[in-house]
């Protein structure tokens, strides 16, 4: 198939990934190309050049409009809307068999556009007012919508979802996250260093549990970093930087437990299954999709009590390291995810 993959443009779709949305689009493009599809990645122009790129905007908007996401800035809104409008027009004229929409733009959801090219839209965020109405008005036989978890499905459609909506769990290649049969007694945490990701909770729990902790990931919110993270660093609490691919997998795999601390309704939690593939049991907060993703591979507690999370670390450490990767292989393999994507493309094309 000739597939247009429309990505989010806050950050480049390139490793090292800033977040799950960028990783999702990159792995989807790589996997579809490997399966013989002709893929054009519609993303920021500074995305990974190994793909065929059609630039939605010349550079990702966090570089041009730093810190203005969700602030209603008119310049950012015009930059994003103009880029997506042009991209959608080109997709409509480009003889694509299907478009996989990973953006947070309302424009690809318009029925006049989904009627022109069969579309699969993947929702990676909880519902919010700027997008909710457009999503709810958009399902059609030629427009399939996916969410990443049952928890996210319930959040978007509490009264029940239409038949065009389904759950599509994220997937990873376990070979990219090699299993290590033992850890060094430490804890690891990975993600965007932003308040909603809860690194401060991980630090407090690790200190209570008396276990060394290393944080990995990009510093997204400088004020949060300066006020709540940097003062805690030193001794057993370390920052390991923003690492790429094999280096991150090796660093995570050396630890004995992974701390997963979403302080929001986490739609999925890609970092959790990456750590699970390496053999790490999870100790974390039971927000959003976390229980659905972690299952028997960890111990989750309600948000709000550092002592509870510290106790969860001890429980998780008792879980055999073979349990987490077995769950990943059963439920969250990339080949299962890609097969499901291809099936959805077929359904959208048949409906359209």
The pLDDT, as a whole number, for residue 19 is 83
The token duo for 199 is 């690194």
Residue labelled with tokens 């905007």: 57
Residue labelled with tokens 């480049």: 12
235 CB-near residues (< 8 Å, 6+ apart) = none
H/E run at residue 311: helix 306-317
The pLDDT, as a whole number, for residue 244 is 86
The pLDDT, as a whole number, for residue 245 is 86
The pLDDT, as a whole number, for residue 70 is 66
Radius of gyration over every alpha carbon of the chain, rounded to an integer in angstroms? 20
Q: Please indicate whether the domains covering 2-171+333-351 and 174-331 agree at the CATH topology level.
A: yes
The predicted-structure confidence for 61-72, as pLDDT tens digits, reads as follows 888 888 767 676
Give CA torsion, residues 303, 23, 237, 186, to 10 deg. Answer: 90
Q: CATH homologous superfamily for 2-171+333-351?
A: Glycogen Phosphorylase B; (3.40.50.2000)
The token duo for 214 is 């290393």
The token duo for 160 is 């029940």
The token duo for 322 is 């073979």
The pLDDT, as a whole number, for residue 107 is 96
Phi/psi at 144 (nearest 5 deg)? -100, 145
CATH fold, domain 174-331, is Rossmann fold (3.40.50)
Query: Residue ranges of the chain with pLDDT lower than 70?
Result: 68, 70, 72
Question: CA angle at residue 266 from 314 to 79, to 5 degrees?
Answer: 140
The domain ranges of the chain are 2-171+333-351, 174-331
The predicted-structure confidence for 293-345, as pLDDT tens digits, reads as follows 999 999 999 999 999 999 999 999 999 999 999 999 999 999 999 999 999 99
- Bridge partners of residue 145, in order along the sequence: 121, 165
Q: Length of the chain in residues, anyone?
A: 352
Task: List C-alpha distances in Å: 231 to 189, 235, 338.
Answer: 17, 12, 42
């Amino acid at each position: 198939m000739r597939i247009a993959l429309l990505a989010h443009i806050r950050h480049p779709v390139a490793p090292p990934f800033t977040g799950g949305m960028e990783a999702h689009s990159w792995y989807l493009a790589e996997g579809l190309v490997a399966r013989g599809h002709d893929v054009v990645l519609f993303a920021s122009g500074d995305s990974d050049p190994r793909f065929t790129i059609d630039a939605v905007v010349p550079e990702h908007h966090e570089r041009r409009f730093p810190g203005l996401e969700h602030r209603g800035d008119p310049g950012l809104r015009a930059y994003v809307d103009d880029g997506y409008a042009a991209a959608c027009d080109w997709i409509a004229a480009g003889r694509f068999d299907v478009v996989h929409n990973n953006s947070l733009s309302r424009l690809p959801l318009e029925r006049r556009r989904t009627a022109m090219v069969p579309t699969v839209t993947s929702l990676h965020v909880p519902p919010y007012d700027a997008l909710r109405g457009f999503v709810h008005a958009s399902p059609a036989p030629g427009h399939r919508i996916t969410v990443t978890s049952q928890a996210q499905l319930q959040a978007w459609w509490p009264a029940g979802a239409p038949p065009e909506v389904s759950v599509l769990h994220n997937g990873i290649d376990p070979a990219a996250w090699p299993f290590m049969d033992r850890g060094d007694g430490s804890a690891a945490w990975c993600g965007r260093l932003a308040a909603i990701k809860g690194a401060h909770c991980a630090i407090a729990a690790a200190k209570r549990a008396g276990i060394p902790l290393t944080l990995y990931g990009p510093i997204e919110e400088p004020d949060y970093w300066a006020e709540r993270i940097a003062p805690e660093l030193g001794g057993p609490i370390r920052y390991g930087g923003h690492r790429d691919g094999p280096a991150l997998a090796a660093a995570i795999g050396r630890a004995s437990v992974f701390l997963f601390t979403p302080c929001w309704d986490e739609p999925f939690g890609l970092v959790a299954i990456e750590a699970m593939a390496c053999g790490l049991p999870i100790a974390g907060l039971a927000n959003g999709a976390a229980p659905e993703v972690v299952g028997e591979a960890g111990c989750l507690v309600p948000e709000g009590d550092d002592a509870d999370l510290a106790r969860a670390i001890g429980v998780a450490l008792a879980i055999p390291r073979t349990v987490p990767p077995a769950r990943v292989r059963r439920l969250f393999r990339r080949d299962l995810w890609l097969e499901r994507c291809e099936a959805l493309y077929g359904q959208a094309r048949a409906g359209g």
